[in-house]
Structure 1
Amino acid sequence: MSQQALHLPKPFDLSGRVAVITGGSGLLGVQHAHALAEIGANVVIADIDLPRAETEVDKIRADYGEDSAMALKLDVTRQDSVRAGLDTVLGHYGGVHVLVNNAAVDPKVTKDSVVETSRLEHFPLEQWYYQLDVGLTGAFLCSQVFGGWMADHGGGVILNIASDLSVFAPDQRLYRKPGLTADRQPVKPVTYPVIKTALLGLTRYLATYWNEANIRVNALSPGGVYSGQGEEFVSRLSQLIPLGRMARADEYRAAVQFLCSEASSYMTGQNIVMDGGRSAW
């Protein structure tokens, strides 16, 4: 356990707890894993990309000890993979106490996009199914399997990672490019806000379904995270945010610690929006 964890207020202490983070080697998944390891949890970085997960596990172990983390190859779209993942975690740690449903496909709007296919009229059906499989069906399956185990073994916490696009629609003006006609302008695809909004429904459903099983379920809706986007896009988005900037990737750590620990013991079925104030404007 880290020295930081030893001095935290008891409600934030996850010592002896096991936390599974899906999509754990992604931009925010890594941050969630480090946040929970920081307060004493043994973290499982579950990802379809096992080498990337193993790289992040090595970093956490370097800071918090050999048994502080493990990598798990997990395809959240397949029930057999999720069930096998639970068995692997139980075999290694003996239990699961926290599930962070973070796995998602975030379709980016770039200069190289085939702009016609990002628009609703031409959005590929296979992409609709694929992205819903990862972001929504994956959260359902992991909740069913890992949450089901927790319901039978004293309870736990589920945290669904949604988005500020769960509470408002994408502002497609952010993605406009000069020289293109209206019907060829790239847009944020329909799938992402639909999935993130649906996660709020799943959050409320699970919170009330498992209320007697001592399982608390909440959602976190982060705003845009700076990760090397183009200067024009960053400027446009920053003007829509009262704090005047995009988030750093590590700025959600404290919220994850709060929502996954007993510090939030009287909170369930809720969505915490951290968007720099954008939804207030």
Structure 2
Amino acid sequence: MDKQLDGRTVFITGSGGVLGSTYVRRMLEVGAKVVATDLPGARADTLKEAHGDNPNFGYYDLNVGVEEEVVEIFKRVMADGWQPNVVLNNAAITGEMLMGAGKPFPDFADTSVEDFERTMRTNLTGAFMIARQMDRDIVGKYPSALINVASMYALNGAHHPIYDGMPFKNFSAYGVSKAGIHGMTVWLAGYWAKRDATVNTIAPGAVFNGHSEEFQKRVGALIMQDRMAQPDEIADVMLFLASKHAGHMTGQMVNVDGGFSAW
């Protein structure tokens, strides 16, 4: 098997979700050491059960929205002998996650400031705090890379009719936060350019995660390939961005959306 990430230690936030857990699995398969973080709970437990016996895997509880936790995370990780040289800003709150907390999905007019700001705190401010701490603890000390995870809705408007009659909608704060993620990428790319650090954005398209056939049909009609992505198809590109082969890329957004953004 191609060990394209040999010598890389990859630090991932939001590691327990459908994409995060796929990144963890695939990176371990191709030779990386992986430091996974997430909120404590079932998702974290599943990760630890799957990979806890692998000496190249480490897990740490982390809420990226809590500054005190972020300030200490790289120090904790390094004290345990890990040396992250690739960081994935992957943690995010989606509208479905808000519903999972027992809340009905609000119309835009009924969106609370609390839910909007909570989403921004995790998706954008949390990503900023991780990058800031990377600047303090990693950047300039050895070559490194930051990969910010955006979305097909970062720079493209949501197609609201596909959500008609569905139990969830496209949440405004999600798209806003993901646009901000790429803004941070291009700002940091120039700021870190002379410190041997690259910064790029990956923008996944619609990823299948148990969606209904009707929703798959509606989304597929917006995509050149006429289907949603499988998580491993997003991970294929993430592996490249995390590898030495992407060493001359910085400040870029890579769309992995089956042609959604190219219509």
Farther off after superposition, 40-49 or 87-96: 87-96
Aligned to 2:175, which of 189, 193, 199?
A: 193
Alignment RMSD, CA only? 2.1
- Note if contact 1:50-1:73 (Cα within 8 Å) is conserved in structure 2: no
Pairwise CA distance, 1:113:
6.9
- Is 1:123 the counterpart of 2:111? The answer is yes
Taking the aligned partners of 1:245 and 1:176, their CA distance within structure 2 comes to: 19
1:49 corresponds to which letter in structure 2?
P
1:71 alignment partner in structure 2: 59
* TM-score for the superposition, normalised by structure 1: 0.86
Task: Give the structure 2 partner of residue 107 of structure 1.
Answer: 95
> What is the Cα deviation at residue 17 of structure 1?
2.5
Q: Does 1:88 align with 2:79?
A: no
> Secondary structure at 2:223's aligned position in 1?
coil
Q: Distance in 1 between matches of 2:48 and 2:33?
A: 11
1:222-237 equivalences in 2 (<5 Å): 222-237=204-219
SS in 1 for 2:202: strand
1:157 aligns with 2:179: no
Query: Contact 1:158/1:218 (CA < 8 Å) preserved in 2?
Result: yes
Where does structure 1 lack aligned partners over 5 or more consecutive residues?
179-184
- Residue 186 (structure 1) shift: 6.6
Gap change, CA 1:149 and 1:50, over 3 Å in 2: farther
The answer to whether the aligner puts 1:39 opposite 2:7 as a matched pair is: no
Contact 1:147 1:158 in 2 (8 A): no
Which residue in 1 is equivalent to 2:252? 270
Contact kept? 1:50, 1:71, Cα under 8 Å: no
Count of residues in correspondence between the two structures: 260
Are 2:225 and 1:243 aligned? yes
Q: Kindly provide the amino acid, as one letter, of the partner of residue 97 in structure 1.
A: N
Tell me by how many angstroms 1:57 deviates: 3.6
1:89-112 deviations in whole A, cap 9, x for unaligned? 1012242201000000011398x9
Cα distance in 2 for partners of 1:54, 1:208 equals 38
Unaligned runs of 5+ in 2: none
Q: With the length of structure 2 as denominator, give the TM-score of the two structures.
A: 0.92
1:214 is the counterpart of 2:214: no
| Corresponding position of 1:20 | 11
Tell me the amino acid that sits aligned with residue 232 of structure 1.
E
| Partner-residue secondary structure (3-state), 1:129 | helix
What is the CA distance between 1:52 and its match in structure 2?
A: 2.8
Q: Percentage identity across aligned positions? A: 29
Secondary structure of the structure 1 residue equivalent to 2:134: helix
Give the superposition deviation at 1:261.
1.1
Please give the per-residue CA displacement for 1:130-168, whole angstroms capped at 9, x wherever unaligned.
Answer: 000000011001111134322141230100010000121
Task: Find the aligned partners of 1:113 and 1:230 in 2 and give their Cα distance.
Answer: 21
Report the equivalent of 1:136: 124
| Letter of the structure 1 residue corresponding to residue 77 of structure 2 | V
Structure 1 or 2, whichever has the larger Rg, is 1
CA deviations 1:32-82 (Å, max 9, x no partner) are 1122222211101100125532432442355xxx32101100010112101
What is the alpha-carbon distance in structure 1 between the residues aligned to residue 41 and residue 73 of structure 2? 13
Q: Secondary structure at the match of 1:85?
A: helix
Q: Does 1:176 align with 2:158?
A: no
Q: Residue type matched to 1:134 in 2?
A: T
SS, match of residue 153 in structure 2: helix
Aligned twin of 1:253: 235
